[in-house]
A = this chain, B = another copy of it.
Amino acid sequence: MTKNKRLSRACVLRLELYLEYIEQLQKEGKQYVTSSEIGDALGMASGNVRQDLFGLGSAGRPKVGYEISHLVGLIRELFDLDRTKKACIIGFGNLGHALAGSNMWGRGGYNLVAIFDNDPSAIGIEYRNIRVRNIAEIFAVIRTEGIEMAVITVPATAAQEISEIVCSAGIRAIWNFAPAKLITPDTVVVENQSLAWGLITLSHRTKPA
């Protein structure tokens, strides 16, 4: 029933911010929140907030605001955050390490269940109850565990090869931190997280007039 109307990236970003904010309010025991409260907290116009929530099929009460628990439910449902999917990290260098240690896991959507590396000195060590495995095991583990998403933090030169392995193992999504364009079957969703991009954007935005 939930019509999967295409959502702009900007809108997804905003909704994620709303969610973060209202989940915090929820922890504080608040029941209702108004569009202006959200807007003020995040530095945007209340009307913008209302329209985004309108798109969700919102159900606020005039003079009172939106029921927080309901709104949280709507957004989590939209993002499919309550179906916990399995994820793995491939490449346990500094970046892989940093990502593995992030508190984003469990905050919704994905559960980190495996880590792979090809460095013999890394293989076998335990990090947050996850043992680092040999890259050779990728295919089998993805199949066996039913892993849906792979975070790729290997060097650019290895990225395409890894991507082919995980795709053939039946992965559904790739979060690619390698600065390389991956060629994948179009059933696989790829999110490229280029770090260099942030740097260039800053350079551009601070360019002297």
Chain A 135-167, CB within 8 Å of chain B: the 1/0 string?
000000000000011000000000000000000
Q: Which residues of B contact A172 (CB under 8 A)?
A: 206
Q: Which chain B residue lies CB-closest to A208?
A: B80
Q: Which chain B residue lies CB-closest to A80?
A: B207
Residue in B7, B108, B196 whose CB lies within 8 Å of A104:
B196
Are A204 and B78 within 8 A (Cβ)? yes
Q: A79-B203, A80-B204, A202-B149 known; A94 and B101 CB under 8 Å?
A: yes
Chain A 172-206, CB within 8 Å of chain B: the 1/0 string?
11010001010000000101011111111111111
Q: A42-B181, A93-B98, A94-B97 known; A9 and B201 CB under 8 Å?
A: yes
Please state the number of chain copies in the assembly: 2
Are B4 and A110 within 8 A (Cβ)? no
Residue in B12, B95, B203 whose CB lies within 8 Å of A200:
B12
A86: Cβ under 8 A from any B Cβ: no
Chain A 67-84, CB within 8 Å of chain B: the 1/0 string?
000000000001111000
Q: A43-B181, A191-B198 known; A203 and B94 CB under 8 Å?
A: no
Can you list 14 A-B contacts (CB < 8 A)? A12-B197, A43-B181, A80-B207, A98-B98, A99-B195, A104-B195, A109-B203, A173-B202, A173-B205, A175-B202, A189-B202, A189-B205, A189-B206, A191-B198
A residues within 8 Å of B by Cβ?
Answer: 4, 7, 9, 12-13, 16, 20, 41-43, 78-81, 85, 93-95, 97-99, 101-102, 104, 107-110, 148-149, 172-173, 175, 179, 181, 189, 191, 193-209
> What 8 pairs between A and B have smallest CB-CB spacing?
A109-B203, A94-B98, A80-B207, A95-B98, A104-B196, A94-B97, A79-B204, A189-B205
